[in-house]
């Protein structure tokens, strides 16, 4: 148990350092601190894809940051799991939210194509006593592929990965543990 606590503290420290570095190098607004996306921890600067180890580390850091914010946030926070195909507009949707809209939210933004993929984030919300909602950016595959192609090369996802995500896709459901599921038509936001 002590070893697990040490690993968690180390991951939280790394997540804080990575988040601070990201804010400093990209001039993120202070409101973006509640926007967690594993890609934020990759620090890609060229077209080279992250290695599997870098991907695992990015996910570990994102989950450590999610856990930290849910467990150590002031007051009750709501987890908003923003999911959909790569290129569906998840991060753009989060950036367009009004930070003063009332509810205190943490946005966890990733493809998360199935209940198994969304489960860990929901487990953290349950442990913190936080409600969780799902926002599904519903984008047809051709739209996601077209948007992905418009990204800077260092941010593009290989089309084979987007096709694979589509093959795994299961829309979020209330019975996964969400208090609400919102479907957003990616063409109209």
State pTM to two decimals: 0.81
> What string of pLDDT tens digits covers the 189 residues of the chain?
565 545 545 544 554 444 444 433 333 333 368 899 999 888 766 667 888 899 999 999 999 999 999 988 766 899 999 999 999 999 999 988 865 554 689 999 999 999 999 999 999 999 999 999 999 999 999 999 999 999 988 888 999 999 999 999 999 999 999 999 999 999 886
The SS3 call for residue 151 is coil
Q: How many domains does the chain have?
A: 1
pLDDT at 6: 59
Residue 180, strand partner residues: 133
Tokens 């487990």 found at: 123
CATH of the domain at 87: 3.40.50
Structure confidence at residue 48 (pLDDT):
75
Tell me how far apart the alpha carbons of residues 7 and 5 are, in angstroms, rounded to a whole number.
Answer: 5
Question: Which stretches of 27-95 are DSSP H helices?
Answer: 52-72, 90-95
Q: What is the pLDDT of residue 188?
A: 81
| Domain boundaries, position 127 | 2-188
Give the whole-angstrom CA distance, residue 90 versus residue 84. Answer: 7
């Amino acid at each position: 148990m002590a070893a697990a606590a040490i690993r968690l503290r180390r991951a939280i420290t790394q997540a804080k350092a990575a988040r601070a570095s990201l804010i400093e190098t990209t001039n993120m607004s202070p409101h973006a601190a509640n926007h967690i996306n594993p890609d934020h921890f990759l620090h890609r600067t060229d077209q080279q894809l992250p290695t599997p180890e870098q991907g695992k580390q990015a996910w570990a850091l994102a989950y450590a940051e999610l856990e930290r914010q849910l467990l150590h946030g002031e007051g009750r926070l709501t987890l908003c799991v923003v999911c959909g195909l790569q290129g569906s507009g998840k991060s753009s949707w989060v950036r367009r939210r009004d930070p003063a809209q009332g509810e205190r939210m943490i946005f966890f933004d990733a493809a998360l194509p199935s209940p198994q993929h969304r489960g860990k984030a929901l487990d953290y919300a349950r442990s913190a006593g936080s409600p969780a909602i799902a926002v599904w950016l519903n984008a047809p595959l051709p739209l996601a592929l077209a948007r992905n192609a418009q990204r800077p090369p260092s941010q593009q996802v290989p089309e084979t990965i987007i096709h694979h995500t589509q093959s795994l896709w299961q829309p979020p459901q209330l019975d996964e543990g969400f208090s609400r599921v919102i479907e957003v038509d990616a063409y109209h936001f």
